[in-house]
Amino acid sequence: MAYDDQNIFARIIRGELPAIKVYEDDQVLAFMDIMPQAEGHTLVIPKTPAVTLLDLPAEAAAYSIQIVQKIAKAIEKALNAEGIVLMQLSGAAAGQTVPHVHFHLIPSSVHQLGRHAAEIGDQEKIKAIAERIRAAL
């Protein structure tokens, strides 16, 4: 699938749409999911234009996973998370809804997931959680 540079996450990377950010460097951005499946649901996205993990150059994938681990540690510390689900959907057939590769970090249990991209969360509450995660980085 060709990369659409007007997808929501490409626009967030360019600063054209807002996001509640927890981490950013020149290669990766981490921000809160707008429809969280649990408190602290965070997305980590490489800035490299790629639709799925399969399209992402190996170097960008390797660096992204380092940042995924860094953010997961901050979520664990900030929210006293006992478990964190790392989810990555590649392809619409897998349930991917935004065509820019991303990693979900969801402080929850796999047994409690299932409400994927279902309901807009309380953005003020999400901002407060993001502040705690940022402070734990």
Annotate 54-92 with b (16+ C-beta within 10 A) or e (fewer). Answer: eebeeebbebbeebbeebbebbbebbebeebbebebbee
Compare residues 33 and 76 and give the one whose CB is closer to ligand 5GP.
33
Of 56-64, 73-81, 90-98, 107-115: span binding ligand 5GP (CB under 6 A): 90-98
Rounded Cα distance, 101 and 61, in Å: 10
CB of 33 to ligand 5GP, least distance (A): 5
Number of residues that bind ligand 5GP (CB under 6 A): 13
Compare residues 57 and 91 and give the one whose CB is closer to ligand 5GP.
91
Nearest partner of 130 among 25, 30, 11, 4, judged by Cα: 30
The pair of three-digit structure tokens given for residue 96, joined into one six-digit string: 């991917």
Residue 96 within binding range of ligand 5GP, rule CB under 6 A:
yes
Does residue 106 sit in helix, strand or coil? strand
Residue 31 within binding range of ligand 5GP, rule CB under 6 A:
yes
Residue 117 within binding range of ligand 5GP, rule CB under 6 A:
yes
| Interface pick for ligand 5GP out of 72, 89, 105, 130 (rule CB under 6 A) | 89
- Provide the annotated active-site residues: 102
